Amino acid sequence: MNNILKSKWFTFGLVGGLYLLWVIWLGNYWWLLGFAVIFDIYITQKVHWAFWKKKNPPEGKQTKLVEWIDAIIFAVIAATFIRLFFIEAYTIPTSSMEKSMMVGDYLFVSKVAYGPKLPNTPIAFPFVHHTMPFSTTLKSFSTIIQNPYRRLKGCGRVKNDDVVVFNFPEGDTVALSMQDRSYYDLVRTYGHERVWSDKRVFGNIIYRPVDKRENYIKRCIAIPGDSLRIKEGQVYVNGMPQKNIPGIQYIYIVTITGESFSKDALEKLDISPNEIEASDSIYYLPLTESSLEKLKQFRFVKSIKRYVKPAEMIDPSIFPSDPKYPWNLDNYGPIWIPKKGATINLTMENLPLYKRIIDVYEGNDLQIKDGQIYINGSPATTYTFKLDYYWMMGDNRYNSADSRFWGFVPEDHVVGKASFVWLSLDKNKNFPLNIRWNRFFMKVK
């Protein structure tokens, strides 16, 4: 066996071995048919797979255009494979995770941490989420093929206090002219009839499959089977206070005397001017624990008091938006997080908490007739959950649209675990001062 043939068999063995491991991980053994293609590419070479190239061209005659096409095809396939199964880039667009994650952070999200979720809509334009570039209405995907939820084996499961990227649960329905707001919040505010009829204000109403809903990033506060309660701003999980996380920030009422906060003072507190509210000598400042300690050293500060909404200040926009649950951001629950296989007694009192799970996330026909609950046409007094659910909250507790507003996150919406920051840019500064060098390759905690 000559050296060239040995090299072919070695390459075939290496590529074939990796391909076999991928097929085993995927769990779909129809893909083993791909071995015939790999064998032909490296050994028999009967089929001209690179059809865009000339077969056996004269030396040096392969054009630059063909070389570029070859490189682009390989890059697209490789990047798509890595993005789907291993790691994906993500940008922090809002301040809901300040100061743990900063607006302008570019981070990598690990798909293997919890196992990659296979796409519900496999036919899609590469590297585009749900809308084509330079358009607000043109879809980047096709729903001709829609796959059920399936997740491959991962390195572990979602744990308490993990920073998780997930598809927005209320993003199934979208008003195209007001995509920054939940469709369901719009209906609660303006009414169903106006949202659907007033195209000038709300635009067309569209549906998006799970994998094409907006990506959100929050901290997982409670996992399946946990009980959660928020009392006077303190989160309790299974009766125990949530562990201290340095990046969490709350609003403080700060009274000062004689001076105002200078730009240098705000920079020491890591606060931008557009984050503060003020009335005369009273400021409302978002502070982490470390920033709070720095603020106490300022000589012109007269008093500092943490802002907490009183329990009697009911917020109707808070999940489940029902008079039976008079809660607000700082006084919430108790609420139980559904676990796959667990069965609950289903009553008219607790139905508002689990109605969307039963009807939307788990695809049942839920109806109420004469005060009786019917699921798929049969009277129901109990319900067994088909999926695990999670409770997600932002570290910026007063500037975060999270589970307190839209409830549980189903397991089939979980995308991956935030891994590390690879670039961070401050939108309030010009290059090169906008580069946050201290955040490069920072692990997300």
Tell me the per-residue pLDDT of 203-220, one tens digit each, with 9 for 90 and over: 999 999 999 999 999 999
- For 50-87, the pLDDT digits (tens) are 766 666 666 555 677 777 877 888 888 888 899 999 99
pLDDT value of residue 383:
97
For the stretch 211-245, pLDDT in tens is 999 999 999 999 999 999 999 999 999 999 998 88
Percent of all residues in the chain with a pLDDT value above 70, rounded to a whole number: 96
Contacts with 32 (C-beta within 8 Å, 6 or more apart), sequence order:
20, 23
Could you please report the per-residue DSSP string of 94-129? SSTTTTTS-TTEEEEEESTTT-PBPPS---B-TT--
CA 217 to centroid of chain Cα atoms: 4
Residue percentage of the chain with pLDDT more than 90: 53
**Over residues 270-283, mean pLDDT:** 78
Least confident of 217-221, 258-262, 276-280, 302-306: 258-262
Q: How many CB atoms lie within 10 A of CB 214?
A: 16
The topology (CATH level 3) of 87-226+319-331+393-443 is Umud Fragment, subunit A (2.10.109)
Q: Residue 361: name the closest of 346, 334, 340, 335 by CA.
A: 340
pTM for this prediction: 0.91
Q: Note the pLDDT tens digit of each residue in 250-262.
A: 999 988 887 677 7
The string of DSSP codes covering 304-346 is EEE----TTS--TTSTT--TT----SSSEEEEEPP-TT-EEE-
Report the C-alpha gap between 224 and 340 in whole angstroms: 8
Looking at the predicted structure, is the pLDDT value of residue 1 above 60?
no
Residue 265 pLDDT: 79
Higher pLDDT, 89 or 55: 89
> Across residues 156-179, what is the average pLDDT?
94
Pairing of strands 414-424, 163-167: antiparallel
**pLDDT given for residue 30 in this prediction:** 87
> Which pLDDT score, from 0 to 100, does residue 62 have?
61
| Predicted confidence (pLDDT) at residue 45 exceeds the cutoff of 90 | no
Instruction: Give the range among 162-166, 198-202, 302-306, 427-431 with minimum mean pLDDT.
Output: 427-431
Distance between CA 17 and CA 42 in Å, rounded? 13
DSSP assigned state of 425: B
Residues 6+ apart with CB under 8 A from 431: none
Contact (CB, 8 A) for 107 and 89: yes
CA distances from 108 to 102, 118, 298, 391, 419 (A): 14, 18, 38, 22, 6
Tens digit of each residue's pLDDT (9 = 90 or more) over 339-396: 999 999 999 999 999 999 999 999 999 999 988 999 999 999 999 999 999 999 999 8
Beta carbons within 10 angstroms of residue 216's beta carbon: 25
277 DSSP β-pair partners: 284
Under 8 Å CB-to-CB from 407, ≥6 apart: which residues?
169, 319, 320, 353, 356
pLDDT confidence of residue 53 = 66
**Using 50, 70 and 90 to split pLDDT, how confident is the model at 318?**
very high
pLDDT at residue 61, rounded to an integer: 58
Distance separating alpha carbons of residues 246 and 97, to the nearest angstrom: 12
- DSSP-assigned beta bridge partners for residue 373: 368
Average pLDDT, the chain: 89
Where residue 146 falls among pLDDT bands split at 50, 70, 90?
very high
Positive or negative CA dihedral for 267, 273, 278, 280?
positive
